[in-house]
A and B are shown apart, each in its own frame.
Chain A
Amino acid sequence: QVQLVESGAEVKKPGASVKVSCKASGYTFTDYFVHWVRRAPGQGLEWMGCVNPYSGATNYAQKFRGRVTMTRDTSISTTYMELSSLRSDDTAVYYCARELGVVVAARKFDYWGQGTLVTVSS
């Protein structure tokens, strides 16, 4: 069965970086984009960007350009999201989600990871 399993909760100080992983199983890893979405306390869902696991190409939301890096390791079917220069308002649950679209432009989001809580506090 399809699963996206994220790494565990993190506590970071302002100015630090965090790297969250998302391990995929149960499907062909390179057929689906992997997106990263966050939800801060009291806020709604926010799209951060995505990575094409086949090519490694990325597409970042304008708000996060220069601060976010999304990568993948095809040998272990895992994608990573690294966010730098952390601020207190980066405290949020970070989710990965897959989209069918690498081979055919279905624009179909389906499975999500369980979420990773990142807390930024001094």
Chain B
Amino acid sequence: QTVVTQEPSLTVSPGGTVTLTCGSSTGAFTSVHYPNWFQQKPGQAPRALIYSTSNKHSWTPARFSGSLLGGKAALTLSGVQPEDEAEYYCLVYYDGAWVFGGGTKLTVL
């Protein structure tokens, strides 16, 4: 089974831009892996942000965007807000199963 890797932690300044990535130990991710992205804050259930690589939910703030970059799924936050401090997880469909990345703890400082 593939191992899905994310940056363990990232720090960004308010108003800045940051890109989180989601890679595979066995090859490139493409649209057929249907990357989903979630935000989770302490004590809360995960909140869906992006599905099928780049599609936003009705509640997803415009500053969040999803893409594929160099064989990895990517989540970009443009104009980061203090409330974006959270953990972010990607979820990909691989070989008939879903696999989460290890998560990225995003600090806004």
Residues in A lying within 8 Å of B, measured CB to CB: 35, 37, 39, 44-47, 50, 59, 61-62, 95, 97, 106-115
| Tier of interface size on chain B | 20 to 34
Residues in B lying within 8 Å of A, measured CB to CB: 1, 34, 36, 38, 40, 45-48, 51-52, 55, 57, 87, 89, 91, 93, 96-103
Given A45-B38, A45-B40, A114-B45: A109 and B51 interface contact (C-beta under 8 Å): yes
**Chain A's nearest CB lies how many Å from the CB of B70?**
22
The secondary structure that dominates the A interface is strand
The secondary structure that dominates the B interface is strand
Count of A-B contacts judged by CB separation below 8 Å? 60
A sample of 12 cross-chain residue pairs with beta-carbon separation below 8 angstroms, ordered by A number, consists of A39-B40, A44-B87, A45-B46, A45-B89, A45-B100, A45-B103, A46-B100, A95-B46, A107-B34, A107-B36, A109-B48, A112-B47
User: B48 and A44: CB pair below 8 A?
Assistant: no
Residue among A44, A50, A108, A109 having the largest count of chain B Cβ atoms under 10 Å: A109
Measured between alpha carbons, how far is A47 from B2 in the docked complex, in Å?
Answer: 13
User: B52 and A106: CB pair below 8 A?
Assistant: yes
**Can you name 7 extra interface pairs (CB under 8 A) apart from A39-B40, A47-B100, A109-B91?**
A37-B46, A44-B102, A45-B38, A46-B100, A95-B46, A107-B52, A114-B45
Q: Which residue of A lies closest to B58 (CB)?
A: A110
Measured between alpha carbons, how far is A59 from B87 in the docked complex, in Å?
Answer: 27
Measured between alpha carbons, how far is A35 from B45 in the docked complex, in Å?
Answer: 14
Measured between alpha carbons, how far is A62 from B38 in the docked complex, in Å?
Answer: 23
User: A47 and B98: CB pair below 8 A?
Assistant: yes
